[in-house]
Amino acid sequence: MSDIVERIEALKTEASTCRLCGLCENRQNVVFGEGNPETPLVIVGEGPGANEDATGRPFVGRAGQLLDAALLENGITRKHVYICNTVKCRPTSIENGSVRNRPPSPDEMATCLPWLTKQLEIIKPRVILCLGAPSANTIIHTDFRITKERGQFFDTPYAEKAIAAFHPSYVLRLESQTDKSARASLVADINAARLKVIELKKERASQ
Ligand code: URA
């Protein structure tokens, strides 16, 4: 096992008993992250939903299937990237007696940030692809305007560059209203992230 894999596994074990915020009360599993920790490209989503909470794996529900398809259109599989979230436990609310997903609160994101920071310190990605505004708020800058600022590269303390794309759940919602353009922009932003990795590798090799 490489040093990076060993360190990420040790961090995952540590996070599995985290009780830093109230989300630990209702979780079934901590969804720490998975994929290739030796990758140049890390994808950061928002937070686990019901399927992720049940399995302990990120992006395994409908949004995850769309993400996998969009990655594959760019020749990328989960073996090529590392996927994680801004919060590692499922945020829920009760609506009309049923348990629903909800966005993580700013407090929950701030409390969980040290886990994400440590993950990224170990992986040291060249590029981070943020899915949705909460992730971009954390990695790129606060008050990120996803419709205006997606698809652009930004400096970030967590990688050489970061870019944000529409969250696959948002794409699914729009597609149900017959708007297909958001899916195309998700695929294009993944491609931009892939090309930026290649460009940065070439730049470093010629220095
Ligand atoms: N949405 C996210 O942001 N992350 C997941 O892991 C699943 C759905």
pLDDT tens, position by position, 57-74: 999 999 999 999 999 999
| CA dist., res. 133 & res. 135, Å (int) | 5
33 lines ligand 1 (CB under 6 A): no
Contacts of 137 (CB under 8 A, 6+ apart): 109, 143, 144
| CA dist., res. 168 & res. 204, Å (int) | 32
Q: Which ligand 1 atom is the nearest neighbour of the CA of 58?
A: 6
63 lines ligand 1 (CB under 6 A): yes
Topology given in CATH for the domain delimited by 3-206: Uracil-DNA Glycosylase, subunit E (3.40.470)
Say whether pLDDT at 179 is over 90: no
The model's pTM: 0.97
Ligand 1 centroid to residue 45 C-alpha, Å: 5
Shortest CA distance to 86 belongs to which of 67, 112, 106, 61?
112
End-to-end alpha carbon distance in the chain: 30
Say whether pLDDT at 110 is over 90: yes
Ligand 1 centroid to residue 205 C-alpha, Å: 34
CA 48 to chain centre: 10
84 lines ligand 1 (CB under 6 A): no
Confidence at residue 16, expressed as pLDDT on a 0 to 100 scale: 98
| CA dist., res. 46 & res. 146, Å (int) | 13
pLDDT digits (tens, 9 = 90+) for 62-107: 999 999 999 999 999 999 999 999 999 999 999 999 999 999 999 9
91 lines ligand 1 (CB under 6 A): no
* Domain residue extents for the chain: 3-206
